[in-house]
């Protein structure tokens, strides 16, 4: 079970996540084993889940609302292969609110409901020259370039990996069995909302980043502090500035995510089916 310490609770002093937890707990058929955060254009995975219950964020007390296209802003409860799931269709980005408690709200809610595993997904720009739009990338580590303190004391990773190595290898095996190409790499996050310049992309490349986006790193940091197991998957939706020749826009991000959603769904489904809870 995740451990929510008094220090972590204080991070949410201005946003009563307990209201959301009580609302959902009273309506969920069972406590969730696995929580999923579905990023830009990837939320359709939740639509395929059987026996799902849908909770629009506007009807959940104290729950923040996403404003970005491709993020529906609702919570889906379902069961898959005997695992109880809670899926967050869309997320709140730091550039939308400049309020870390809103960004981390889904993670703390999932932890309080009992989810011991977190699967985070996102759309990202490819920095590694070997990556192409439509590739899926297993996140092996992350770099936080948001320059926004978490407010959580201590070392987020401690002496262990942020991304659970057992889950990471499990996902690799699943992809190999299915014949799905699955890249591996380091995800770097900037605050946004502007896309990075060519010079910034080159900097991130030299510092070890393989893909770049505007989310995920804070959620993963909190999950690590809570003791949750984390699996991360990026959908490479475009080549980053200075690597690709096309002009970047959010429409391209959602279009490419839609194009690979079947492979994404197969990978997630098989990964979830094999996770021990």
Q: What is the DSSP string of 5-69?
A: -HHHHHHTTTS-HHHHHHHHHTT-SS--SEEEEE-TT-GGGGGG-TT-EEEEGGGSTT-----ST
Q: With respect to residue 1, please indicate whether it lies within any of the assigned structural domains.
A: no
Please classify residue 120 by burial: count the beta carbons closer than 10 Å to its beta carbon, then call 0-12 exposed, 13-18 middle and 19+ buried: buried
pLDDT at 159 over 60: no
Say how far apart CA 76 and CA 276 lie, in whole Å: 21
Residue 250 annotated to the active site: yes
Segments forming the whole domain that contains residue 152: 6-273
Predicted pLDDT of residue 233: 97
The residue from 40, 57, 84, 234 that is catalytic is: 40
In a domain, 223, yes or no: yes
> 97-156 pLDDT, tens per residue?
888 889 999 999 999 999 999 999 998 999 999 999 999 999 999 999 998 876 665 555
Tens digits of per-residue pLDDT, 16-30?
A: 899 999 999 999 999
Q: Which of 66, 71, 87, 195 is catalytic?
A: 71
What pLDDT shows up at residue 195? 82
**95 counts as catalytic:** yes
Going by pLDDT thresholds of 50, 70 and 90, the confidence category of residue 205 is very high
* Residue 67 pLDDT > 70: no
In whole angstroms, how far apart are CA 23 and each of 18, 26, 113, 208?
Answer: 8, 6, 11, 42
Catalytic site residue from 102, 123, 124, 137? 123
What residues does 184 pair with on adjacent strands?
138
Catalytic residue selected from 47, 62, 79, 95: 95
- In the chain, the number of structural domains is 1
Q: pLDDT higher for 55 or 259?
A: 55
Does any domain span residue 83?
A: yes
Catalytic residue among 214, 221, 224, 228: 214
Tell me if 16 is assigned to some domain. Answer: yes
Q: Is 228 a catalytic residue?
A: no
Q: Do the domain assignments include residue 261?
A: yes
- Residue 181 in tokens: 């190409």
- Active site annotation includes 215: yes
Residue 73, pLDDT above cutoff 80: no
The answer to whether residue 234 is catalytic is: no
Q: Which residue is catalytic, options 96, 112, 196, 219?
A: 96
CATH code of the domain covering residue 64? 3.40.50.1580
* Arithmetic mean of pLDDT over the chain: 88
Helix orientation angle between 217-226 and 105-113, rounded to the nearest 10 degrees? 30
Written as six digits, the tokens of 110 are 């999932």
Asked whether the predicted pLDDT for residue 71 surpasses 80, the reply is no
Q: Is residue 129 included in any domain, yes or no? A: yes
Q: Is the pLDDT of residue 9 over 60?
A: yes
Are β-strands 117-126 and 136-145 bridged in parallel, bridged antiparallel, or unpaired? unpaired
From the list 184, 193, 201, the residue with the least C-alpha distance to 142 is: 184
**For residue 24, what are its two tokens?**
């959902």
Task: Check if 93 is active-site.
Answer: yes
Mean pLDDT of 32-55: 90
Q: Using alpha carbons, select from 272, 266, 258, 248 the residue that is nearest to residue 39.
A: 258
pLDDT at 253: 67
């Amino acid at each position: 079970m995740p451990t929510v310490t008094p220090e972590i609770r204080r991070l949410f002093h201005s946003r009563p996540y307990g209201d959301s937890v009580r609302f959902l707990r009273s309506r969920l058929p069972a406590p969730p084993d696995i929580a999923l955060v579905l990023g830009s254009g990837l939320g359709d995975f939740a639509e395929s889940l059987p026996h799902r219950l849908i909770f629009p964020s506007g009807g959940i007390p104290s729950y923040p609302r996403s404003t970005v296209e491709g993020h529906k802003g609702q919570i889906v409860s379902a069961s898959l292969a005997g695992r109880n799931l809670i899926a967050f269709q869309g997320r709140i980005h730091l550039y939308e609110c400049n309020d870390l408690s809103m960004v981390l709200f889904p993670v703390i809610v999932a932890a309080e409901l009992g989810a011991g595993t977190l699967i985070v997904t996102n759309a990202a720009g490819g920095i590694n020259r070997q990556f192409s739009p439509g590739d899926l990338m297993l996140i092996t580590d992350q770099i936080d370039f948001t320059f926004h303190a978490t407010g959580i004391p201590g070392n987020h990773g401690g002496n262990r990996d942020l991304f659970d190595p057992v889950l990471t290898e499990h996902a690799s095996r699943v992809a190999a069995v299915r014949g799905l190409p699955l890249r591996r790499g380091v995800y770097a996050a900037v605050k946004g909302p502007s896309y990075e310049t060519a010079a910034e992309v080159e900097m991130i490349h030299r510092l070890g980043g393989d893909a770049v986006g505007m989310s995920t790193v804070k959620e993963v940091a909190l999950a690590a502090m809570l003791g949750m197991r984390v699996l991360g998957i990026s959908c490479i939706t475009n080549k980053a500035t200075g690597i690709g020749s096309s002009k970047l826009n959010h429409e391209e991000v959602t279009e490419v995510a839609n194009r690979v959603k079947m492979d994404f769904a197969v990978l997630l489904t098989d990964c979830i089916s094999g996770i021990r809870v």
